[in-house]
Amino acid sequence: MKLAVAGTGYVGLVAGVCFAERGHLVTCVDVDEEKVARMRAGESPIYEVGLEELLKKNIAENRLFFTTDYERAYSDAEAIFIGVGTPEQPDGSANLSYIAAVCRQIAQSVTRDCLVVVKSTVPVGTNDKVEQYIKDNLVRDVTIRVASNPEFLAQSNAVHDMLHAARIIIGTDDEEAERQLLEIYAPFDLPVVSVSRRSAEMIKYACNNFLALKISFMNDMANLCELVGANIDDVAEGMRYDPRIGAKFLKAGVGYGGSCFPKDTKALTYLARQNGVTLKTVDAAVEINAAQRTRLFEKAKKRLMTFEDMKVAVLGLAFKPGTDDLREAPSLENVRLLLEHGANLVCYDPVAGENFHKKYPDVPLAKSVEEALEGAFCCFIFTEWDEFVRLSPEMFRRKMRVPLVYDGRNIFDPDNMKRGGVEYYSIGR
Ligand code: UDX
């Protein structure tokens, strides 16, 4: 089918590339000329495993196009997927102005009956508004149907998550829209859950909020484990075999970050408040996560008394491994606090250094773990990159002035570190 995708961020670009990979003719639209030029040349603007390869392949096979000319892209598309951002506003609500702008463009451009599919994460009821808005602004006599189709891509695994999704959620309020979406997804050959538009919108929030809740629950438990002499990783190991609980998202640490959980928890609690109720579980998850981020910093502050003029190594800046994304990364708040307390920071991340440098141009970036650790009095780990997991206690002992390690991702065996002469603190163990 002939598809257009609005927005080439994580959601839009990955969707566009994967639709092309499954045989559709796809035109991706973005307002950023420079970005469009790079993508046309086969360059992926984001770091995502396998994405650039598929981008190049589908451009070469004439199924994937990029443009800033929305009018041409939307005018004869059979379906238009909206994948633009819905960033958090100061009050926690989702900013829908990018969605509105795309709707306006669609209404002005379409020349044939068309299915508009909202892929962005949007508050319940937004699809209804999108439909009304487009219909109110249409300049031609065409039929527009609107459907919800939330995505569940996790960064660093996005292409795989789209091509081999656990399920496709289709939210429609009429049979023709449902039929069309089923046709678009037929080549993916994946399980489909077909529900109403409002339920589809809610499924997305329910999933992300539940996962955030799971992580915060484990962090809450971890803090108790420390007090009662239990080990949270062992506890998680014992929990994960229970299929009612599930094996994933049981890892305690310095808390969740990224572009979704922090934003979506706030958006859902906002929606609840607007409807006169409080989501106590989600509020608690948010509160626990905020406190969790600085737990190790607080511990280190007590142990060291001061960070003034002390060399402190930070290993890992990205909000999780496999991405250069720093959005809501727990490292950032710790960096800010350490700088405020006068530490001489040296940071290292295998991928996110460049993005970090844009935020903190004055903080030195090491080119390797060894360089970051050299002469440090203390080391913090905020991301569980593979190259850190492989480090031995000897490395910390040899390189650091004082082998004192605060591990926010529980990547080392505490006994092994102790035997290796490292003073080691982690979460819940
Ligand atoms: C998440 C959802 O997984 C995805 O389905 C949705 O579409 C977007 O939001 P993402 O933000 O890319 O994806 O990353 P994810 O792997 O879910 O991790 C989010 C954060 O939670 C990271 O900071 C990670 O370190 C943290 N996390 C994850 C934990 O602290 N413990 C865990 O057990 C799992």
Of 175, 195, 215, which one is at a domain's C-terminal end? Answer: 195
Of 263, 292, 321, which one is at a domain's C-terminal end? Answer: 292
Q: Which amino acid is at 109?
A: S
> How confident is the model over 182-232, as pLDDT tens digits?
999 999 999 999 999 999 999 999 999 999 999 999 999 999 999 999 999
Show the domain range for 36: 2-195
51: CA distance to ligand 1 center in Å? Answer: 19
Both 262 and 401 in a single domain?
A: no
> How confident is the model over 360-387, as pLDDT tens digits?
999 999 999 999 999 999 999 999 999 9
User: Locate tokens 């969790």: which residue?
Assistant: 292
Atom index in ligand 1 nearest the CA of residue 158 equals: 12
Helix ranges, 275-329 (H):
280-293, 295-304
Both 314 and 338 in a single domain?
A: yes
Residue 404 has pLDDT above 90, yes or no: yes
pTM: 0.94
The two structure tokens encoding residue 280 = 């106590």
Cβ atoms of 238 and 305 within 8 Å: the answer is no
**In this predicted structure, what is the pLDDT of residue 325?**
92
- Ligand 1 pocket test, pick from 11, 215, 389 with the greatest ligand atom count within 8 Å of Cβ, gives 215
Both 116 and 129 in a single domain?
A: yes
Both 39 and 106 in a single domain?
A: yes
Number of domains, the chain: 3
> How confident is the model over 391-403, as pLDDT tens digits?
999 999 999 999 9
Both 9 and 138 in a single domain?
A: yes
Both 36 and 110 in a single domain?
A: yes
The two structure tokens encoding residue 170 = 């289709």
Q: Is the Cβ atom of 262 under 6 angstroms away from ligand 1?
A: no
Return mean pLDDT, the chain: 97
Both 107 and 216 in a single domain?
A: no
114 is catalytic: no
Both 322 and 370 in a single domain?
A: yes
Q: Which amino acid is at 126?
A: T
Q: Whose CA is nearest to atom 26 of ligand 1?
A: 256
Q: What is the CATH number of the domain that holds 420?
A: 3.40.50.720
User: Locate tokens 């290993």: which residue?
Assistant: 315
First to last CA, the chain: 53
Residue 176 has pLDDT above 90, yes or no: yes
Both 9 and 133 in a single domain?
A: yes
Both 173 and 214 in a single domain?
A: no
Both 123 and 261 in a single domain?
A: no
Q: Which of 120, 154, 103, 168 is nearest to 267 (CA)?
A: 120
Query: Which string of DSSP letters, residue by residue, matches 148-165?
Result: E----PPTTSHHHHHHT-
Q: Is the Cβ atom of 249 under 6 angstroms away from ligand 1?
A: yes
Of 159, 179, 195, which one is at a domain's C-terminal end? Answer: 195
Q: What is the CATH number of the domain that holds 223?
A: 1.10.1040.10
